[in-house]
């Protein structure tokens, strides 16, 4: 095969890879096949120890444990709590959205983001409306519905079960 045809095929495979028309490992195989292994250096650099999705996953797990520690085992001033809630919420959402958009759809980052947002929204509801338990119920149901929708969208049974179980347990708690 001449070089012009190989170049056209390699460009087409790169286009498929960028637009996620084929799974990434299929594209890597085809690229290695047509470029005769020249792209192995690029793949080795990609799998280096500074892999951003792994770092973000560890960051989300640390953020989850830190939010539990800060909100439930310390007494902070109201302004400091609200500032921490806003910062944790924004950083958790940005990290989760980045991991989803880069198709690193793994269970641990999504669960860490979901649990962190649950803790943050419940804490914000408790701080903002300390006497109104209906707001707390609404926030919890909203989180559970988001889990169900995420489970349907990404075909993850754990999110569907968690959302439905959370709604059922909340209704049992309210009415019994």
Reported as a single tens digit per residue, the pLDDT across 130-160 is: 888 999 999 999 999 999 999 999 888 999 9
- Which residues form the domain of 116? 49-128
Judge if 68 and 28 occupy the same domain: no
Judge if 134 and 124 occupy the same domain: no
What is the arithmetic mean of pLDDT over 51-67?
81
Of residues 103 and 170, which shows the higher confidence score?
170
Judge if 35 and 64 occupy the same domain: no
Helix, strand, coil share of the chain (percent; to 5) = 80, 0, 20
pTM of this structure: 0.62
Q: What is the mean pLDDT of the chain?
A: 82
Judge if 55 and 121 occupy the same domain: yes
Of residues 114 and 97, which shows the higher confidence score?
114
CB-count burial class (<10 Å; 0-12, 13-18, 19+) for 102: exposed
100 has pLDDT over 80: no
pLDDT of residue 31: 81
Judge if 95 and 160 occupy the same domain: no
Reported as a single tens digit per residue, the pLDDT across 64-96 is: 888 888 877 888 887 887 788 788 888 888 887
Cα 118 from chain centroid?
13
3-state secondary structure of 129: coil
Q: Please report, rounded to a whole number, the percentage of residues in the chain having pLDDT higher than 70.
A: 89
Q: Total domain count for the chain? A: 3
119 has pLDDT over 80: yes
Rounded to whole angstroms, how far apart are CA atoms 72 and 139? 18
Judge if 36 and 69 occupy the same domain: no
């Amino acid at each position: 095969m001449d070089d012009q045809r190989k170049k056209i095929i390699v460009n087409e495979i790169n286009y498929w890879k960028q637009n996620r028309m084929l799974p990434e490992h299929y594209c890597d195989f085809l690229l290695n096949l047509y470029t005769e292994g020249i792209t192995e250096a690029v793949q080795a650099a990609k799998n280096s120890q500074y892999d951003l999705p792994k770092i973000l996953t560890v960051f989300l797990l640390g953020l989850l444990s830190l939010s539990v520690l800060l909100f439930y085992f310390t007494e902070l001033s109201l302004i400091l709590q609200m500032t921490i809630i806003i910062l944790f919420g924004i950083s958790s959402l940005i990290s989760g959205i980045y991991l989803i958009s880069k198709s690193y759809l793994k269970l641990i980052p999504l669960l860490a983001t979901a649990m962190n947002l649950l803790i943050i929204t419940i804490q914000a509801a408790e701080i903002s409306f300390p006497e109104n338990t209906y707001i707390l119920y609404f926030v919890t149901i909203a989180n559970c519905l988001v889990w169900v929708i995420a489970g349907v969208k990404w075909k993850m049974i754990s999110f569907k079960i968690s959302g439905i179980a959370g709604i059922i347990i909340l209704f049992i708690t309210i009415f019994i």
